[in-house]
Amino acid sequence: MSDKEAFTEHDWRRLLTSLGENPDRPGLIETPARVTKAWKHWTSGYDQNPVEVLKAFEDGAEEYNELIVVRGIPVYSHCEHHLAPFFGKATVGYLPNGKIVGLSKLTRLVDIFSKRLQVQERMTMQIANALMEVLEPKAVGVVIKCRHLCMESRGIRAIGEETITSTLLGELQPNLALRTEFLALTRD
C-alpha cells in the first residue's frame, strides 16, 4: 500500500473528531498511535504464509494412524462487515498420512487466518484447506465456536449466542465412525 493510501494517525484523529470527541483531551492524545499499532497487530495475518508455518515432520509419524486433535485454540478476529471483534475457540484435528506437524503450528495456523478481516465460515474453511493442502493427511476437521460483537452490541443484540462452524475434509466426510469420533473430541 502506498503512503497516500495508508490509514494514518491523522485519520484516527479525524474519526475521533467525527464522533464528537476532542482528540487533544488527555485520555485521547495517544489513542491514534495506540489504535494504529493495535490494527497492525490485529491484521498481521496478511503478512504470514500458512505454508511456512506448517513444517511437517516424518520422524516417528509414519506409523501413527489415529486422530490428532488440538482444542481450545483461542480465536480473536474482526468481522469484515462491521470491523467488530468476534472471539471464541477453535478445534483443529487431522488424521496423518505419514507426516505430522508440531502441535503449536495448529495454533499458529488459526492465528494467521484470524488476524485478517474475516467471516467465520470462510476462516474455518481456510484453516482446513491449508492443513489439507500442506500436510496431505487422510482427513482434516476444524470446528470454531465464536461470539460476535456485531450481533451482541448492535442490531439484534443476541447476547451470549455462539456461532459454530465446521469444515470436515477427506475421510471425515464419508466415514461416519471417524466423523463421530472427531466431533466427540471437539466437545467440552
Q: Which residues are catalytic?
A: 79-82, 120, 148, 150
What's the rounded Cα separation, in Å, for the pair 68 and 78?
28
Question: Which regions of 14-122 does DSSP assign to beta strands (E)?
Answer: 56-57, 68-79, 85-95, 100-101, 117-118
Q: Is 146 annotated as a binding residue?
A: no
Residue 126 contacts residue 113 (beta carbons within 8 Å): yes
What's the rounded Cα separation, in Å, for the pair 58 and 29?
53
Q: Is 79 annotated as a binding residue?
A: yes
Q: Is 150 annotated as a binding residue?
A: yes
Residue 144 contacts residue 165 (beta carbons within 8 Å): yes
Per-residue CA distances from 88 to 31, 33, 75, 152 (Å) = 26, 27, 5, 14
Q: Which residues are annotated as a binding site?
A: 79, 82, 150
Q: Which residues are annotated as a binding site for Zn(2+)?
A: 79, 82, 150
